[in-house]
Amino acid sequence: MENGILKILNFYAGYNVKTILTNINLSIPSNKVISIMGPSGCGKTTLIRCINRMHELQPDANFKGQILLNEKNIFATSPILVRRKIGMVFQKPNPFPTMSIYDNVVSGYILNGIKIPRSEKDRIVEETLRKVYLWDEVMDSLHRKGTFLSGGQQQRLCIARAMAMNPEIILLDEPTSALDPKATAKIEELITKIKKSVTVILVTHNTAQAARVSDFTAFLYLGELVEFGFTEKLFTTPKDKKTEEYLTGKFG
Amino acid sequence: MKMDRYFKSILFGAAILLLLLLTGIFFTLLIGSIPAIKASGIKFLSGTSWNPVTGVYGAVPFVIGTLLTSFLALFISLPFSFSISLFLGEYFKKGALAEFLNYATDILASIPSVIYGFWGLLFLVPIVRKFELSFHILPYGVGIFTASLILAIMIIPYTSYLAKEVILLVPQDIKEAAYSLGATRSEVIRKIIVPYSRSGIFAGILLSLGRALGETMAVTMVIGNSNLIPGNIFSPANTMASVIANEFTEATNDVHLSALIELGLLLFIITGIINFIGNEIIKKLSIKG
Amino acid sequence: MQRRIIKDKLFEIIIIIFALVSTFPLILILFQIVKKGIASINWSFFVNLPQPPGESGGGVSNAILGTFILIVIAGGFSILLGVLGGTFISEYKDKKISELIRLCVNIFQGIPSIVIGIIVYIWIVMPLHRFSALSGGIALGIMMLPLIVKSTEETLRLIPSSLKEASLALGASYTTTMLRVILPAGINGILSGILISVSRVAGETAPLLFTAFGNPFMNFNIFKPVDSLPLLIFNYSMSPYPEWHSIAWGASFVLISFIIILNILTKMVSRKWKTVF
């Protein structure tokens, strides 16, 4: 675990006087799926929003400690560079409503003013949409608005949007909470596939989902990291009593 | 990011400019009124005579003219706007008739005031004159009554729109509860809907009153432009707005101009307060006004 | 019981009658404008200048041009300022200054237009020592501002915040996010706010009385007085000459058509360019 792609060291975060995360220490290995689970309000979302520096956009937000991406402190560079390397997918699908499906996929390039030739764009769009299993469904309507798609398709489009930038890490913030079981299954399937090219950090309050898709699981409770380890191990022989109680539905 | 800093400063600059512009309006009026305030003092508000030739500036005739036309207009328009709001908010929410009425009030609201004045001058004034003749009133044709008629037509869309919106806000289950107790529709309207939406309807009336008080062109064209205190509702008169429109470009000296600006200030303050109260009520009810 | 039902029916009938009767004036006004307006409209009406009373063939080309010039100046003055200001108060919702602007905008929306005329007279006409198209345009622009600010704010407020976050999370700068994602997503609301405000001021007369003033000749110079359709209707209708009255009817017809077309356009814009989130 020493050579993780992302290391979180003595990390605190909160708003104003309210502390949400306390002394988080976590080392995340690359090309794996890592679940962060815990009852609502435990700080899961705050944690991943710190990883791509979205947390600090909130008024009164504060934080302390270090997060290292490839051994480099992310707070020492521009947040914009950090966010290009760490993609994010949100709870509710949110494709850009004014852009076509095609433009949504390459929106990272468009919005960052990165000019790439048309053929290169075409390649990125097809490749990325194939990665998220959306290509076959939308190849004939690439220039329609992304908002005409179904919820599940929209969410896969949002994953594609994040993947198209070739990020090193992709953060998924309860990506299936607004979707039906069928769409959820599809997203879970693609999560386990894309880890070949990217490290996936998945926030979920659904323990079954964490068990199904992740290699490692972190259990967060009241802003503290209670336990972190191989998913199988954590689910079968939890070291901490709180983890066991959570997994057996005693709270949350 | 440098770019972001520039962009944020531009946004902030626009906001400051906007604020300066809007507050500047008030202060400009205030400063412009100073010569008149110095010359007339409190007499401006209590004086019953307005005579630029002798330099006497009392606003009472115009305040009376303004209040009379506006309240008369409100009085004439209320049964109509109330009916429209119930028609669209309760009886016929959909259908061809509702569509027609919606369009009609929309267009009524967008006809320019000068066209109302023109129409009033050529169409209403002769009718009012005939009416006055047959009742042995001095047949001016123009005057407070004619101005109120035009104003009434002009404010119907505003009152009825706002009242309709609040009537639509009355929860269905309260109405149904009353129906299930055996109430008839008119009883539900009087006992449930009207009490429930009373404050919203009041706000609508207030905002329409604000509009009527400041309405200039249509009133100026048909009110007869007399600087005397009106004797009855058929007399020619002037409102604050109409006297400004009439005399501003012909103001004889600085005090006259300043007195007209002070009238503007007075109008600004009255309509400002009315709008403020009306908007606060609407904000509480959270409807789009 | 019978009496209650009769009373109920009676009430309904009275409501219907009053509601329908209130459309009579509209029908009457529109009917007269269309009838008398069309009768006085011909080709020369649009291309000629006004003629002295007694001579036929007068037109209103100067007023049509003037209205156009005034609206362009008003738009130039108010659109950018209004959209940026509206963006500011939606971005910084809870700041004191936003509260203050919101309050001012609400109050100023109902300020009599004649008062705006006074203000612009003091601000622009007095220092320049002359009536001008510029001052008239700015007067109309000030009247457009509250509407544009309000519609921009309300439109932007309805855009889900996750959209902004999605753009920022891709590494886009704040500026890019606002200009390429947020404002385009609200374009229908902002545009229809602008169109509505234009249709509101297109028929304004009072603020022009002592700013644009009116001008019987063709004028392209924004530092000189110009005519506008509402001003022309006012001046002609107050004249004793029947020929001028018929020109005023024609001008009313043109003005109302313009306003109604603008209103229809607004509805089309807000429907067609509606953003689905």
Low-confidence ranges of chain C (pLDDT < 70): none
Which H or E element spans position A65?
strand A61-69
The answer to whether residues C186 and C155 touch, using CB atoms and an 8 Å cutoff, is: yes
Put simply, the answer to whether C110 touches B112 (Cβ < 8 Å) is: no
Pairing, β A199-204 against β A33-37? parallel
Chain centroid offset of residue A150 CA:
21
Tokens for B224?
């007869």
A111 closest CB neighbour out of C172, C185, C275: C172
Low-confidence ranges of chain B (pLDDT < 50): 288-289
How would CATH label the architecture of A6-247? 3-Layer(aba) Sandwich (3.40)
Put simply, the answer to whether C275 touches A97 (Cβ < 8 Å) is: yes
Q: CB contact, 8 Å: B22 with chain C?
A: yes
Determine the angle formed by the axes of helices B60-86 and B144-169, rounding to 10 degrees. 40
> Percent helix, strand, coil in chain C (nearest 5)?
75, 0, 25
Put simply, the answer to whether C33 touches B17 (Cβ < 8 Å) is: no
Tally C-beta pairs within 8 A across B and C: 252
Residue B289's pLDDT is what? Answer: 45
- In 3D space, the residue among A75, A82, A47 whose CA is nearest the CA of residue A165 turns out to be A82
Touching partners of C (3+ C-beta pairs < 8 Å):
A, B
Tally C-beta pairs within 8 A across A and C: 81
Query: What burial letters (b/e) apply to C52-70, b meaning 16+ CB within 10 Å?
Result: eeeeeebbbbbbbbbbebb
Q: What does the alpha-carbon distance between residue B284 and residue C258 come to, in Å, rounded to a whole number?
A: 36
Q: Which residues contact C171 (CB under 8 A, 6 or more apart)?
A: A80, A81, A82, A83, A84, A108, A111, A112, A165
Q: Count each helix (H run) and each strand (E run) in chain C, helices first.
A: 14, 0
B110 closest CB neighbour out of C20, C117, C263: C263
- In 3D space, the residue among C15, C41, C188 whose CA is nearest the CA of residue B101 turns out to be C15
Determine the 3-state secondary structure of A33 from DSSP: strand
Put simply, the answer to whether C4 touches B1 (Cβ < 8 Å) is: no
Q: What does the alpha-carbon distance between residue C83 and residue C153 come to, in Å, rounded to a whole number?
A: 8
Tokens for C277?
């989130």
Residue B286's pLDDT is what? Answer: 62
Q: What does the alpha-carbon distance between residue A82 and residue C171 come to, in Å, rounded to a whole number?
A: 7
The secondary structure of chain B as a DSSP string is -HHHHHHHHHHHHHHHHHHHHHHHHHHHHHHHHHHHHHHHTTHHHH---EETTTTEE--HHHHHHHHHHHHHHHHHHHHHHHHHHHIIIII-SSSHHHHHHHHHHHHHHHS-HHHHHHHIIIIIHHHHHHHHHHTTS---S-SHHHHHHHHHHHHHHHHHHHHHHHHHHS-HHHHHHHHHTT--HHHHIIIIIHHHTHHHHHHHHHHHHHHHHH--HHHHHHSB---SPPSSTTS-B--HHHHHHHHGGG--SHHHHHHHHHHHHHHHHHHHHHHHHHHHHHHHHT---
Put simply, the answer to whether C12 touches B113 (Cβ < 8 Å) is: no
The answer to whether residues A220 and A232 touch, using CB atoms and an 8 Å cutoff, is: no
Q: CB contact, 8 Å: A148 with chain C?
A: yes
Give C54 or A222, the one with higher predicted confidence: A222
pLDDT surpasses 60 at A2: no
B111 closest CB neighbour out of C109, C111, C256: C256
Query: What burial letters (b/e) apply to C175-205, b meaning 16+ CB within 10 Å?
Result: bbbbebbbbbbbebbbbbbbbbbbbbbbbbb
- In 3D space, the residue among C162, C163, C159, C173 whose CA is nearest the CA of residue C86 turns out to be C159
Put simply, the answer to whether C174 touches B112 (Cβ < 8 Å) is: no
Residue A223's pLDDT is what? Answer: 92
Q: CATH classification of B2-285 is 2.60.40.10, yes or no?
A: no
How far does the CA of residue A131 sit from the closest CA of chain C (Å)? 18
How far does the CA of residue C79 sit from the closest CA of chain B (Å)? 11
Chain centroid offset of residue B65 CA:
13
Put simply, the answer to whether A88 touches C163 (Cβ < 8 Å) is: no
Q: Which residues contact C6 (CB under 8 A, 6 or more apart)?
A: none
Put simply, the answer to whether C234 touches B22 (Cβ < 8 Å) is: no
Q: What is the complex's ipTM, to 2 decimals? A: 0.93
| Domain positions in chain B | 2-285
How far does the CA of residue C143 sit from the closest CA of chain B (Å)? 11
Touching partners of B (3+ C-beta pairs < 8 Å):
C
* pTM score, whole prediction: 0.90
Q: What does the alpha-carbon distance between residue B184 and residue B166 come to, in Å, rounded to a whole number?
A: 21
- In 3D space, the residue among B105, B69, B70 whose CA is nearest the CA of residue B208 turns out to be B70
Positive or negative, the Cα torsion across C274, C181, A86, A121? positive
Cβ-defined contacts of A225-232 (< 8 Å, 24+): A225/A24, A225/A25, A225/A26, A226/A38, A228/A26, A231/A35
Residue A3's pLDDT is what? Answer: 67
Q: What does the alpha-carbon distance between residue C91 and residue C93 come to, in Å, rounded to a whole number?
A: 6
Residue B287's pLDDT is what? Answer: 54
Residue A132's pLDDT is what? Answer: 93
